Amino acid sequence: MKSKFGIFIIFAILTWNISLSAKCLGGNCENGYGTAEFPRGDIYTGEWKDGMASGRGVLKYKNGNEYTGEWKNGKANGRGVLIFQDGTRYVGEWKDSVAHGNGTMYDDKGKMLFTAVWNNGKVVEESPFNQIDSR
C-alpha cells in the first residue's frame, strides 16, 4: 500500500494548480461559481476568486480520478477527498496541493487501510488500521 500512496503524492504534486489556463464552460470563472476545462481535459466546477479555484470545488480528471474539497489560490488547501479511478480514496488535509496534516486511505469497498500524519507531502507518522474480528 505504501507504493500506491507514494504514487498518490507524486500525482498530487504534478497535477494540481487550478488557474487562468482554463476555458470557462459556464458560470463565473473569475469571481463566483463556474465550470472550466483545462488543456489536458480535466474539468473543475466550483468557486472562483481572481480567476483561480478558491473555496469549495470538484476537479474531475480526464483519467477518472476526482478531487472534492477546499481550494485556495488555485491549489488544494484544507479538507478534501481524492478518489482514484480504481475506487481507492484518500480523505484528509491538504496544503498547496500536497497531503499535509491528518489523512486516511480507504480501499474501493470503504475499508480503512491506514491513517497517517503528513508534513508537506511526506509521512511523519503512520498508524496501520487493525481490523477487529467481529465473529
Residue 116 belongs to a domain with what CATH number? 2.20.110
Can you spell out the DSSP letters for 59-105?
EE-TTS-EEEEEEETTEEEEEEEEE-TTS-EEEEEEETTEEEEEEEE
| Domain carrying residue 23 | 2-128
Residue bearing the bigger pLDDT, 120 or 31: 31
Flag whether 14 is in a domain. yes
In this prediction, residue 13 has a pLDDT band, given cuts at 50, 70 and 90, of very low
pLDDT digits (tens, 9 = 90+) for 14-57: 445 555 578 999 999 999 999 999 999 999 999 999 999 999 99
Flag whether 81 is in a domain. yes
Flag whether 47 is in a domain. yes
Number of domains into which the chain is organized: 1
pLDDT digits (tens, 9 = 90+) for 79-113: 999 999 999 999 999 999 888 999 998 999 999 98
Flag whether 134 is in a domain. no
Q: How far apart are CA 115 and CA 109, in angstroms?
A: 16
Q: How far apart are CA 117 and CA 15, in angstroms?
A: 22
Flag whether 133 is in a domain. no
